[in-house]
Structure formats: structure tokens, C-alpha cells
């Protein structure tokens, strides 16, 4: 038996701590607990209001369930073949006239369609413009191909776009341009630039140098070099990121209306103000469904191009 072993036998074993300095460790743990307690304790809770609000909560959940069922019934009544093909899942048809559905009623009456339509229009336009502007900015923000002054300028644009919350940009733009989808469109385009140009620039910086060099060595012009040496390498990711951004822009477009920048948000805000939970539930359900569809589509497209 070695001496080293003899020294260890009978000794308790403890896992070495993640932070080795004991003072620092205890200050960190103590500080975190203290912050947690103080921060949580500082939150004012009005129980009376919550008791009253529980009723609203219940109404919202009931409305959400109701609108979900109404949508389900609607789908079944519009597509009778679903009940025949998946009888276990869809059950027998209700036999009602689909155009009498509560879902349709809420959906058409409360200007939901108009708001959604505006949201989608803003999403599409801002994503396209955002991508178009992102590409030159990304080229300028890639350290390996852009000259210094252009690099700094493009990086500054990206940093600004990322630091400013969409809602805040929208507030400022509404103050300048007035209410309406134009403010929302510019907001989302600007936000797209920060997101897309940054990731794309990183991609260009990480691309395979040899491939790009090979094209350069053929004596091509700068434009040809970008077209043949750079573009093929980053194109799949550009498409993937654009689809992802389309999805984000739609989600964001749903809240810009809260500050007057167009889209479904304004309708939603009014519905909340009037405690019309049927409308709220219908809007939320529609948003969730559209986001799910977009996510699915972007997954398929990303799978295709990569």
C-alpha cells in the first residue's frame, strides 16, 4: 500500500467546488439568495385584484377552449371527408351549416381578418426589404472582405438595430410618420437587418477560404468573386435564416399594433380593454396556428436547401 493511499483512506471525500475561491463562492451564493429574496419581496401583489381577475382568467380559458372547439367543428363541417377518413379523431359531423360557426362569426365581425391581413402584408414586405438591405450590409460587415471604414459603418448599423427593441423603434416611427402600417413595415425591416446581417456576416467570415481564393486566383472581378466564390457558400444559410426571420417578423407584427404601428395588435388591444375574451382567444389561436404553419414550412424549406 502506497503512502499516498494510506493518507487518503478514511478521509471524507467531497466534490471539488465549481468556484474554487471560498470567499468569492459564498459571496456569490449569499448575494444571489439575498437578491432573490429582496427582489421577490419587493413585488407588490394585490390579492383583491387577483381574486377579481381570476374570473377574467376563467373567462379567457373558457373562451379559448370554446373557440378551439368551434374551429375544430368548423373544419369538420367544411371538410366532411375528414370525418370519413379519420372517424376516431374527428367523430361524426355535426350537420350544422359551416357559415353559422361561432368561430366564423367572431372572426369576421371583429375586424380580425383585416388586422391579420395587415400583419401578413407588413411581414412579407418587411422581410423582403430587410433581406435586400441585409445582404450588402453583411458583405460590408464581414471583416475578411470589407475595407475598414465600411466595416465599421456596417457594424454600427447592425449594433444599433440589435440594441433597439422593435417596440421602441415603432413608438418613435409612429411619432414621426403617424399611425399605420408604414411605421410597422420600417420597424420590422430595420430589425431584420440587425438579425440577418449579423449572422450572415459571421457566416461569410467563417466560410471556406480556399474555395473563395480559388475563384479569386482565376483573375475575376470583385463582383464575380462574390458571385462565384462567396455566394454559393452562404446561400443555403441565407435562405434558412430568411425563413426563420419571416416567422419572427410575423410574431412581432402582431404586437406592433399595440403602439399604433399597424397589424392585428390594435384589434387585440381593444379586445383586451373591453374584456372581450372571445375575440382575444380567436386572435391568439389564429396567431399560434399561423406561427406553427410558418415554422413547419421554414423547417421543410431549410431541410431542402441544406
Partner 1 sequence: MPTLEKDGRKIWQVRTTKSQLIRWGAWLVGLAAFIFSWKEISDNTLWFMMDNVGEVVADIAGRATPPAWSFVFELGRPIWDTLAIATLGTFFSLVMAVPVAFLAARNTTPSKVLVRPIALLIIVSTRSVNSLIWALLLVSIVGPGVLAGLIAISIRSIGFCAKLLYEAIEEINVVQVEAIKATGASPMQVMAYGIVPQIMPAFAGIAVFRWDINIRESTVLGLVGAGGIGLALQSSLNVLAWPKVSLILLVILVAVVIGEWVSAKVRGAII
Partner 2 sequence: MYQGWKMLELQGLTKIYNTGDKALSDVTLTIPDGQVVALIGPSGAGKSTLIRCVNRLVQPTSGSATLDNVNVTALGAAGLRKARRKMGMIFQEYALVERLTVMENVLSGRLGYVGFFRSLFRKFPQKDVDEAYRLLDRVGLLEMADKRADALSGGQRQRVGICRALIQDPSLLLVDEPTASLDPKTSRQIMRLIVELCTERGLAAIINIHDVALAQMFVQRVVGLKLGVVVFDGGPDDLLPEVLTDIYGEEDWEATIEKVDDEDEEA
Instruction: State the residues that interact with partner 2 by CB under 8 A.
Output: 1-2, 4-5, 8-16
- Contact 257/187 with Cβ under 8 angstroms? no
- Contact 167/255 with Cβ under 8 angstroms? yes
Burial call 74-91: b when 16+ CB within 10 Å, e when fewer: bebbeeeebbeeeeeebe
Which residues contact partner 1 (rule: CB under 8 A)?
35-36, 39-40, 42-46, 49-50, 53-54, 56-57, 60, 117-118, 120-122, 124-125, 128-129, 163-165, 167-168, 171, 175-178, 180-182, 185, 251-252, 254-255, 258-259, 262, 268-269, 272, 275, 280, 284, 287-288, 291-292, 295
Q: Least Å distance between CB 147 and partner 1? A: 26
Considering only CA atoms, which of 222, 165, 218, 215 is closest in space to residue 190?
Answer: 165
Q: Least Å distance between CB 77 and partner 1? A: 24
- Report the 10 Å Cβ neighbour count for 291: 15
Q: Least Å distance between CB 16 and partner 2? A: 5
Q: Least Å distance between CB 9 and partner 2? A: 5
Q: Which does 275 bind (CB under 5 to 8 A by kind): partner 2, partner 1, none?
A: partner 1
Q: Which does 5 bind (CB under 5 to 8 A by kind): partner 1, partner 2, none?
A: partner 2
Round to whole Å and give the CA distance between 119 and 252. 9
Task: State which residue, 3 or 23, has the beta carbon closest to partner 2.
Answer: 3
- Report the 10 Å Cβ neighbour count for 104: 16
Task: State which residue, 5 or 176, has the beta carbon closest to partner 2.
Answer: 5
Cell numbers 359551416 correspond to: 98
Q: Which residues contact 106 (CB under 8 A, 6 or more apart)?
A: 67, 112, 278, 279, 282
Please tell me the number of Cα atoms within 13 Å of 123 on its side-chain side: 26
Q: Which does 4 bind (CB under 5 to 8 A by kind): partner 2, partner 1, none?
A: partner 2
Q: Which does 81 bind (CB under 5 to 8 A by kind): partner 1, partner 2, none?
A: none
Task: State which residue, 98 or 179, has the beta carbon closest to partner 1.
Answer: 179
Round to whole Å and give the CA distance between 235 and 268. 38
Q: Which does 41 bind (CB under 5 to 8 A by kind): partner 1, partner 2, none?
A: none
Q: Least Å distance between CB 25 and partner 2? A: 16
Q: Least Å distance between CB 219 and partner 1? A: 20
Task: State which residue, 26 or 275, has the beta carbon closest to partner 1.
Answer: 275
Q: Least Å distance between CB 11 and partner 2? A: 8
Q: Which does 53 bind (CB under 5 to 8 A by kind): partner 2, partner 1, none?
A: partner 1
All three cell numbers of 120: 401578413
Round to whole Å and give the CA distance between 98 and 80. 11
Biggest distance spanned by C-alpha atoms of the chain: 89
Amino acid at each position: 500500500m502506497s503512502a499516498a493511499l494510506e493518507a487518503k483512506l478514511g478521509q471524507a471525500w467531497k466534490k471539488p467546488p465549481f468556484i474554487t475561491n471560498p470567499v468569492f463562492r459564498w459571496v456569490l451564493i449569499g448575494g444571489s439568495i439575498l437578491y432573490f429574496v429582496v427582489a421577490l419581496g419587493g413585488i407588490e401583489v394585490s390579492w383583491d385584484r387577483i381574486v377579481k381577475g381570476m374570473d377574467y382568467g376563467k373567462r379567457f380559458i373558457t373562451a379559448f377552449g370554446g373557440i378551439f372547439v368551434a374551429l375544430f367543428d368548423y373544419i369538420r363541417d367544411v371538410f366532411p371527408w375528414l370525418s370519413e377518413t379519420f372517424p376516431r379523431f374527428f367523430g361524426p359531423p355535426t350537420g350544422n351549416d359551416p357559415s353559422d360557426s361561432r368561430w366564423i362569426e367572431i372572426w369576421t365581425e371583429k375586424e380580425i381578418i383585416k388586422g391579420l391581413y395587415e400583419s401578413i402584408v407588413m411581414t412579407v414586405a418587411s422581410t423582403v426589404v430587410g433581406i435586400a438591405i441585409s445582404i450588402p450590409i453583411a458583405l460590408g460587415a464581414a471583416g475578411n472582405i470589407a475595407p475598414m471604414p465600411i466595416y465599421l459603418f456596417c457594424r454600427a448599423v447592425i449594433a444599433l438595430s440589435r440594441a433597439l427593441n422593435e417596440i421602441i423603434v415603432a413608438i418613435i416611427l409612429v411619432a414621426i410618420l403617424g399611425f399605420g402600417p408604414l411605421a410597422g413595415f420600417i420597424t420590422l425591416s430595420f430589425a431584420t437587418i440587425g438579425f440577418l446581417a449579423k449572422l450572415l456576416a459571421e457566416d461569410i467570415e467563417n466560410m471556406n477560404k480556399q474555395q473563395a481564393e480559388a475563384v479569386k486566383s482565376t483573375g475575376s472581378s470583385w463582383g464575380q468573386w462574390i458571385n462565384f466564390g462567396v455566394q454559393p457558400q452562404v446561400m443555403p444559410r441565407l435562405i434558412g435564416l430568411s425563413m426563420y426571420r419571416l416567422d419572427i417578423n410575423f410574431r412581432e407584427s402582431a404586437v406592433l399594433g399595440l403602439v399604433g404601428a399597424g397589424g392585428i395588435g390594435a384589434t387585440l388591444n381593444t379586445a383586451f380593454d373591453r374584456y372581450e375574451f372571445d375575440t382575444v382567444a380567436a386572435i391568439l389561436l389564429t396567431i399560434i396556428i399561423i406561427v406553427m404553419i410558418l415554422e413547419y414550412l421554414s423547417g421543410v424549406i431549410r431541410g431542402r436547401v441544406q
